[in-house]
Amino acid sequence: MSEFDFDVFVIGAGSGGVRAARMAAAAGMRVAVAEDRYMGGTCVNVGCVPKKLFVYASGYSESFADARAYGWQSERPDFHWQTLRDNNAREIARLNGIYRDLLAGSGVQVIDGRASIEGPHQVTVHEMRYSAERILVATGGWPFVPEFPGREHVITSNEVFSLAEFPRRVLVVGGGYIAVEFAGIFAGLGAETHLSYRRDLFLRGFDYDIRSFVRDEVAKKGVQLHFNSEIRSIEKQPDGSLLVAMKSEEPLKVDAVLYATGRRPNTVGLGLEALGVATRADGTISVDDSFRTSVPSIYALGDVSGGPQLTPVALAEAMALVKHWQSGRAAEMDYNYIPTAVFCQPNIGTVGLTEEEARDEGISVHVYKSEFKPMRHSVSGRDERTLMKMIVDSRNDKVLGVHMVGPEAGEIIQGMAVALKAGATKETFDRTIGIHPTAAEEFVTMRTPSQD
């Protein structure tokens, strides 16, 4: 008889926590999961899934307009926010139920409530104490809003999907992928949209050519860009609107201000400090290569541990961790060539090194670039461009990075990621027959470097 109630106690039923719990239970471990908010975590409820649905919704405005050039003469229908909001809520509720059923079907005990860690092997939920041989923290992140006058009037990605009314004038604050995506969503749905960022160009960390290209394409969609911009205060007006005072700019009057200025680890109230669990300056939990914290019986993975904030990464980490528990060998997790997408409009897809990263590492590279109008717009007449870029090591012909801005970029780059993971060279791409007519074939037909 074990001295513990559970072999594994998981705190957080997001993507990583659920995957770890299910795999551990399948391996014969006694597992519990505590969750105080919603099944599926950020991705399912206020992240990837609803965001992608809202991106689809926002894209129809252009599709209706473009259809006229293809012979469809009906008038553009009106947009009804409540229909989108409520249909999204129903889909999320369905997914919540699926996650709960998956856990129950795996033999995992689900405990509703916020857990706190009382000792190396002790967890408390609603004053009920549980013991576990291992404790896994998978609580993800939480939107961060800086302190300033009027902060209480802003919304974050936690609230944006369930607004009572559609805001006709919106200010999005931030320069990461969430900010750029939501600016596109609001603009596509018909709102007067502003995007404010405190630096000179958004999407820091992406390839510079991609960033500058997206800046121009986003502006074409009607998003009003405010770079080197800072919010000083927000005052609610008698009519319910918000007056935003901006540094070095005229005040801006809008109906909603969405702050997308990053996320912080969701660790408040967990009891990590009292136990001496080491954290970094940004609040993320320090872990070793096997996801173990400074307290040997406590583990952490996903966004809360400071790695790439991507759902597939959390899933992969969960699988690597459970395999480590089963085998006793070091966890096998490879963070090289992780593809990612930004569902702005047009989309971004990227995998591998940027040109700047490659040069900073002292690698001599050949750079291939192609820019063109997507085929569908040769008839629609819409002023939208696609950019494709490939970074190649000039010493051995190995492809180090592939980047794209254009329709379905994420779908295309997923296949490119497989090629890069397999060590493909530029010659491999050159010898591959393209599918015609597609945008993706451009990646196997680029022959002349644009620069070295």
Per residue in 206-242, pLDDT (tens digit) is: 999 999 999 999 999 999 999 999 999 999 999 999 9
250-260 burial, b if ≥16 CB within 10 A, otherwise e?
eebebbbbbbb
96: closest CA among 161, 14, 190?
14
pLDDT at 1 over 60: no
Q: What is the mean pLDDT of residues 308-332?
A: 96
Full-model pTM: 0.96
Cα(118)–Cα(429) distance, integer angstroms:
55
Give me 181's structure tokens. 């995506």
Mean pLDDT, rounded, for 61-78: 94
Quote the distance between the C-alpha of residue 197 and its chain's center: 18
> Rounded mean pLDDT of the chain?
97
Phi, psi of 18 (to 5 degrees): -65, -45
Query: In the predicted model, what is the mean pLDDT of residues 12-19?
Result: 98
Question: Residue 226: which residues within 8 A CB-CB, separation 6 or more?
Answer: 194, 195, 196, 197, 246, 249
- 283-300 pLDDT, tens per residue? 999 999 999 999 999 999
| pLDDT bucket at 76, cuts 50 / 70 / 90 | confident
CA-nearest of 66, 87, 82 to 189 is 82
Cα(253)–Cα(236) distance, rounded to whole angstroms? 10
Q: How far apart are CA 199 and CA 280, in angstroms?
A: 25
What pLDDT shows up at residue 404?
98
Q: Tally Cβ neighbours within 10 Å of residue 321.
A: 28
Residue 75 pLDDT: 86
Nearest by Cα to 54 from 20, 5, 89? 89
With a CB cutoff of 8 Å and minimum separation 6, the contacts of 207 are: 350, 354, 355, 356, 389, 401, 403
Domains of the chain by start residue, with CATH: 6-143+264-327 (3.50.50.60), 151-261 (3.50.50.60), 340-444 (3.30.390.30)
Amino acid (one-letter) located at 330:
A
Indicate the pLDDT class of residue 74, thresholds 50, 70 and 90.
confident
Provide the β-strand partners of residue 368. 390
| b (16+ CB within 10 A) / e for 18-39 | bbbbbbbbeeebbbbbbbbbbb
Q: How far is CA 125 from CA 10, 25, 114, 356, in A?
A: 12, 21, 6, 48
Q: Residue 200 is encoded by which pair of tokens?
A: 């000179």
Q: Which two tokens stand for residue 116?
A: 């706190």
The H or E element spanning position 173 is: strand 169-173
Q: Which of 380, 372, 160 lies closest to 259 in space, CA to CA?
A: 160
Residues 90, 45: Cα–Cα separation, whole Å: 11
Confidence band, pLDDT 50/70/90 cuts, at residue 19: very high
Crossing angle between the packed helical segments 208-220 and 177-188, to the nearest 10 degrees: 20
297, 133 contact by CB (below 8 A): yes
Q: Identify the burial level of 245 via C-beta atoms within 10 angstroms of its C-beta, where 0-12 means exposed, 13-18 middle and 19 or more buried.
A: middle
Given a contact cutoff of 8 angstroms between Cβ atoms, the answer to whether 191 and 163 are in contact is no
What pLDDT band is residue 248 in, cutting at 50, 70 and 90?
confident
CB 117 within 8 Å of CB 275: yes
Question: pLDDT at residue 451 above 80?
Answer: no
Q: Does 436 participate in catalysis according to the annotation?
A: yes
Cα atoms in the 13 Å half-sphere on the side-chain side of 191: 26
Instruction: Provide mean pLDDT across the span 120-145.
Output: 97
What average pLDDT does this structure show over 21-46?
Answer: 97
Residue with structure tokens 């005990």? 109
- 360-413, pLDDT tens digit by residue? 999 999 999 999 999 999 999 999 999 999 999 999 999 999 999 999 999 999
